Amino acid sequence: MKMITKIVVLVLISVLVLSVSGENRAKWMQDRGWGVMTHYLADLVKQDNKLNMTPNEWNKLIDNFNVSAIASQLNAVKTGYYQITIGQNSGYYLSPNAVYDSIVGIKPSRLSTRDLVLDLYEALNKHNIKLMVYLPSGAPVGDQSAVTALNFTNGPHRNLEFQLKWEKVIAEWSKRWGEKVSGWWFDGVYWPNLMYRFCDPPNFKSFAAAARAGNPQSSIAFNEGVIYRVVPISPDADFTAGEINEPQLVTVRYNVNGTVDGTQVHFLSYLGQNWGRGKPRFTVEQVVNYTKLFWSYGAAVTWDVPIELNGTISQPFIDQLTEVGKAFKQRT
């Protein structure tokens, strides 16, 4: 009996370890195969639509974002997950955050009153589509007041004071959203040795802990930039950021069941002329073939597409995404 009890305990410990491993946290991405990303950013919206961006204008835009419509579109193309930008360089974000406002102190706040992330979750969840979010690892460099308040210096610096503040901001969002957000994609991790690879916090571990404050099972990626060979950046990352411009150039080595050194392989590229902009640059056949190439590595793939002011995706991109969905159905 003692031996049987010992075996049971060991099995339970193994299950517990697997339940918190990076491979386990990101396995759902491989299972779902592919997702869609959109850039809904104040500076892009301003440039493309010649708007005078103000906090009031930003709130109007966010209030008019039709979550039900895009959820229906994503359900129709049969994607497994959707990723949206929280904000970027302009300092305008599409969800409120009390910690950010208390640190930055800009009035009126550039953060929307409506929590678009929560509303997107409610719409997507009806169709069993998971939600992921995008956030830069640095301060909004286009907003000097925020940069100063956050103690951020752009470039290869430790940025210790900034990182401690930014982790509090991230944790505030994570706790607000809880298990409603299944993953985080952090941009701009260009100097990992100088900023994050330390034994003492702030480091990769504390950075990841902040993102998982509300959901311990949340999948996380840190983006070093455009890199065509899959190279895991940290044991605290669950999937590769996978930012690429030219899909045909990818290289995957030492692949084991869709992972490289324990990190889920993932690629992210755009179907427009650039991130969040332009008409389709590929034919439907090319999009499907590139997607199949990624799947051959056991990878998940996220395709970025432009988005309309009301939050919907235009028909040319829906046509391409529809064929990806059909290919995935045939694959499974």
Instruction: Identify which of 112, 116, 108 has the alpha carbon closest to the alpha carbon of residue 145.
Output: 108
For 131, half-sphere exposure in the C-beta direction (CA atoms, 13 angstrom radius) is: 26
Residue numbers in the chain where pLDDT is lower than 70: 1-23
Contact 83, 69 (CB under 8 A): no
Token couple for 210: 């902040």
Residue 250 and residue 232: Cα distance in Å, rounded?
14
> In this predicted structure, what is the pLDDT of residue 209?
98
What amino acid is encoded at 9 in this protein? V
> In this predicted structure, what is the pLDDT of residue 24?
84
> In this predicted structure, what is the pLDDT of residue 331?
87
3-state secondary structure of 103: helix
- The CATH code that applies to domain 33-331 is 3.20.20.80
3-state secondary structure of 191: coil
Residues 6+ apart with CB under 8 A from 50: none
Give the residue carrying structure tokens 């491989």.
Answer: 30
Residue 226 and residue 219: Cα distance in Å, rounded?
20
Phi, psi of 319 (to 5 degrees): -60, -45
> In this predicted structure, what is the pLDDT of residue 133?
99
> In this predicted structure, what is the pLDDT of residue 17?
38
> In this predicted structure, what is the pLDDT of residue 66?
98
- Asked if the bond preceding 108 is cis, omega within 30° of 0, the reply is yes
Our measurement of the distance from residue 128's CA atom to the centroid of its chain's CA atoms, rounded to an integer in Å, reads 18
Residues 6+ apart with CB under 8 A from 203: 196, 197
> In this predicted structure, what is the pLDDT of residue 317?
98
Q: pTM for this structure? A: 0.93
How many other β-carbons are positioned within 10 Å of the β-carbon of residue 233?
19
Contact 115, 131 (CB under 8 A): no
Phi, psi of 182 (to 5 degrees): -95, -10
